Amino acid sequence: FCTKKNTLKLKFLNVVRQINIPFSWYESGMSRLWNFNLQYFDWARELVDEAILNNNWPKELKMLNKIIDNWIYENQPGFGDGWHSYTLSIRIRNWIYIFRTFPELVNEKKISSLWMQICWLNSHKEYCYGGNHLIENLITLIIGSLQFKGKESAKIYDKATIELKNELFKQILDDGGHYERTAAYHFLILDLEKY
């Protein structure tokens, strides 16, 4: 990706698109997976990493503030790809990273949205898919619940921790391989240190 005044140039799945800010969270003519990548906010995390590396804070900070506010406004709770459990799992962790890096971005609206996303994910875990989807859900719930105080966040943490332990026991075989016996899933499961 690269940024210019009020635009993002994003490349997902080898497809490049220049998007004006504020933008639609569903880019017509793009695949659903491309749109999922837009919702993940991995690109925003990369933007933050680049800002840190280049010590270029003000422009990046202002842009992310507008983009996150736009996401909250445009993505009503429970509707669309932004509320798909997998996109939630990735975005929640990225938002936490962004908020921890730029505490000046944090306000009540953003924290409320983050908590709402965590609660939605908690009640919509991807048991039906299992595998890496469920692992992503549970890791996110653990990380997300630790950002909040109170009985509900403690309950989310306790339950997700138990479920993650059970899933890892089930998915990682005695020989260290993943139970689906594919290299990609093996790598995903064993790459947990990124969290």
Instruction: Report whether the peptide linkage leading into residue 103 is cis, meaning its omega lies within 30 degrees of zero.
Output: no
**Alpha carbons 22 and 45: distance in angstroms, whole number:** 18
Sorting pLDDT into bands at 50, 70 and 90, what band is 185?
A: low
Q: What is the DSSP letter of 4?
A: E
What is the tens place of the pLDDT at every residue in 43-62? 999 888 888 888 876 566 77
Quick one: which of 49, 36, 71 has its CA closest to 1?
49
Q: Assess whether pLDDT exceeds 50 at residue 138.
A: yes
What is the tens place of the pLDDT at every residue in 139-166? 999 999 999 999 999 999 999 999 999 9
* pTM metric for this prediction: 0.87
Quick one: which of 44, 38, 140, 130 has its CA closest to 88?
140
